[in-house]
């Protein structure tokens, strides 16, 4: 019997060894896949047990806080107007905005120090996340949201010297405090309140894009700024008729006046002339020497130059930012045609631009020609008080878009535009404002989008702004006054 007992023992022992190996497999080897898999309810439960970090504005005013609710706590959003920045954090519907993108910090998963992580593991104290300190200014944000009101659109304000975003408003919005109750209604509601228009929507920029065309023309030294030219008759570019309607009351004008009065014909021709030796004034007039050079030598050189300058401003590439940003683009079709290039040069065509990009374009002028890197989250403050700076202001300017001299010239254009041109309603008492309006045609029979981009004070800029109101009408009448409120609020800081 003894032999049989030993054999039985061996078999049973082998059974336990297999069990031990299986334990090792499930607890170690196969563990990562199961833990991160879709069938693990622990992740949410763990999140509910964590005390999430707060979100503060630049003056340490609390934007997002926690309040006790049931066994755990819930998020309280003190400034629903900033919902597209803060996003939301819902156990039922997940997270969005900074709540999602900076979850590592807010949830404490990225504890500032190794000691903290070890202590977490051993002592199981209620995990506390880091607070995020934003560059946002709650007051400016509130003013921006109010300026939009019930209208669809977006306003972005930033400090042109550092790229620090002061306000980022998108309308319609929603109240993240009541998200769980409102969810299905919001899903159905018109205007897609979850959509962050300030970063994700791409609009036809209209005349605000003339900043890019003008920058190229001036920076390349292709235009004689002192010599006026006549602009009273339409010009045909292929099948396209471009007129002088905008500047009808100033038929004889300088390039600066053409900018301030937003002359479409001037800018269509300027765009087409970018690839040829200047001065281009001779082709901007009513009676140019026949034929236009691009008719015989093509548009490739001009298109390349416009693309180059638009690219320097940020078109065609993804901008580094703390929240996802859509790419602004010049066109959708692969090849340039003369009429498309002409339309693009005055801000129509197939252009599509995010409000953030528009604000950055103004900021580049304000910042002496350097495109600042935009950012929103300044620092993370750990529960133990350690501060981790996430951005150094102005440390990584993206690009020298133009020479400082060109920037100074463009600034004069934009000041003229506010002081004498179409952007007059953006003017502030006692402060010189630089700006450019746009009225973006969005199809026959539809009210155009109203645009304004600009900055203030012109001589020592501290805030640049872009405002867009969808289907409201002219930039002068709708966008400029809205942007003015935001500029004023930012200057009161």
438 to 146, 183, 196, 322: CA distances (angstroms): 21, 35, 21, 28
CB 131 → other proteins: shortest distance, Å? 25
Query: Locate tokens 């409120």: which residue?
Result: 485
- Token pair, residue 353, equals 């631009």
Of residues 107-146, those binding other proteins (CB under 8 A): 121, 124
CB closer to other proteins out of 1 and 114: 1
CB 31 → other proteins: shortest distance, Å? 4
Of residues 2-61, those binding other proteins (CB under 8 A): 2-9, 12-13, 15-16, 18-20, 22-24, 26-28, 30-35, 37-42, 45
CB 116 → other proteins: shortest distance, Å? 17
Q: How many residues belong to the site for other proteins (CB under 8 A)?
A: 37
Counted residue by residue, the chain has a size of: 493
How far apart are the C-alpha atoms of 476 and 484, rounded to whole Å?
11
CB closer to other proteins out of 67 and 122: 122
CB 187 → other proteins: shortest distance, Å? 23
Of residues 274-313, those binding other proteins (CB under 8 A): none
CB 42 → other proteins: shortest distance, Å? 5
CB closer to other proteins out of 3 and 492: 3
Cβ–Cβ under 8 Å, residues 142 and 457: no
Residues with Cβ within 8 Å of 141's Cβ and at least 6 positions away in sequence, in order, are 57, 79, 81, 82, 85, 166, 167, 168, 169
CB 453 → other proteins: shortest distance, Å? 52
For residue 300, the SS3 value is helix
How much of the chain is in helix, strand and coil states, percent to nearest 5? 40, 20, 40
Q: Which of 354, 355, 390, 359 is nearest to 372 (CA)?
A: 359
CB 129 → other proteins: shortest distance, Å? 18
CB closer to other proteins out of 7 and 297: 7
CB closer to other proteins out of 26 and 93: 26
ω into 237 cis (within 30 of 0): no
Cβ–Cβ under 8 Å, residues 47 and 99: no
Binding mask 204-243 for other proteins (x = CB under 8 A): ----------------------------------------
Residues with Cβ within 8 Å of 476's Cβ and at least 6 positions away in sequence, in order, are 422, 423, 424, 425, 437, 439
CB closer to other proteins out of 35 and 115: 35
Binding mask 414-443 for other proteins (x = CB under 8 A): ------------------------------
CB 40 → other proteins: shortest distance, Å? 5
251 to 254, 267, 270, 348, 417: CA distances (angstroms): 10, 15, 17, 23, 16
Binding mask 71-110 for other proteins (x = CB under 8 A): ----------------------------------------
How far apart are the C-alpha atoms of 246 and 413, rounded to whole Å?
16
Residues in contact with other proteins by the rule CB under 8 A: 1-9, 12-13, 15-16, 18-20, 22-24, 26-28, 30-35, 37-42, 45, 121, 124
């Amino acid at each position: 019997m003894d032999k049989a007992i030993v054999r039985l023992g061996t078999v049973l022992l082998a059974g336990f060894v297999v069990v031990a190996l299986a334990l090792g497999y499930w607890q170690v080897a196969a563990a990562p896949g199961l833990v991160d898999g879709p069938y693990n309810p622990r992740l949410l439960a763990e999140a509910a047990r964590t005390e999430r970090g707060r979100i503060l504005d630049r003056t340490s005013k609390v934007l997002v806080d926690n309040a006790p609710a049931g066994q755990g706590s819930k998020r309280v959003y003190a400034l629903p107007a900033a919902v597209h920045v803060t996003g939301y954090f819902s156990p039922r519907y997940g997270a969005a905005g900074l709540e999602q993108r900076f979850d590592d910090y807010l949830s404490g998963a990225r504890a500032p120090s190794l000691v903290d992580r070890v202590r977490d593991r051993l002592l199981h104290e209620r995990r506390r996340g880091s607070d995020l300190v934003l560059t946002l200014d709650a007051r400016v944000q509130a003013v921006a949201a109010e300026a939009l009101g019930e209208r669809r659109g977006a306003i972005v304000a930033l400090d042109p010297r550092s790229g620090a975003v002061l306000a980022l408003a998108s309308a319609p919005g929603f109240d993240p405090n009541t998200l769980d109750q409102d969810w299905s209604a919001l899903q159905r509601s018109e205007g897609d309140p979850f959509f962050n228009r300030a970063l994700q929507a791409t609009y036809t920029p209209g005349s605000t894009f003339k900043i890019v065309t003008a920058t190229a023309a001036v920076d390349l030294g292709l235009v004689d700024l002192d010599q006026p030219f006549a602009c009273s008759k339409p010009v045909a570019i292929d099948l396209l008729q471009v007129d002088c309607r905008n500047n009808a009351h100033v038929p004889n004008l300088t390039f600066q006046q053409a900018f301030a009065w937003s002359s479409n014909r001037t800018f269509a021709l300027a765009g087409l002339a970018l690839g040829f030796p200047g001065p281009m004034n001779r082709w901007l007039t009513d009676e140019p020497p026949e034929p236009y050079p691009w008719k015989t030598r093509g548009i490739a050189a001009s298109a390349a130059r416009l693309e180059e300058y638009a690219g320097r401003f940020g078109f065609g590439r993804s901008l580094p930012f703390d929240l996802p940003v859509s790419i602004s683009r010049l066109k959708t079709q692969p090849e340039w045609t003369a009429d498309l290039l002409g339309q693009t040069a005055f801000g129509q065509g197939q252009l599509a631009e995010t409000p953030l990009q528009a604000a950055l374009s103004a900021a580049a002028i304000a910042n002496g020609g350097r495109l600042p890197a935009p950012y929103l989250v300044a620092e993370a403050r750990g529960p133990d008080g350690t501060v981790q700076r996430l951005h150094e202001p102005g440390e990584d300017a993206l690009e020298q878009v133009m020479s400082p001299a060109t920037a100074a010239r463009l600034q004069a254009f934009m000041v003229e535009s506010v002081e004498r041109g179409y952007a007059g309603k953006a003017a502030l008492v006692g402060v010189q404002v630089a700006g450019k309006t746009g009225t973006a045609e969005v199809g026959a029979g539809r009210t155009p989008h109203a645009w304004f981009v600009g900055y203030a004070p012109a001589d020592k800029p501290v805030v640049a702004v872009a405002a867009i109101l969808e289907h409201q009408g002219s930039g002068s009448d709708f966008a400029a006054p809205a942007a003015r409120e935001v500029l004023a609020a930012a200057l009161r800081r």
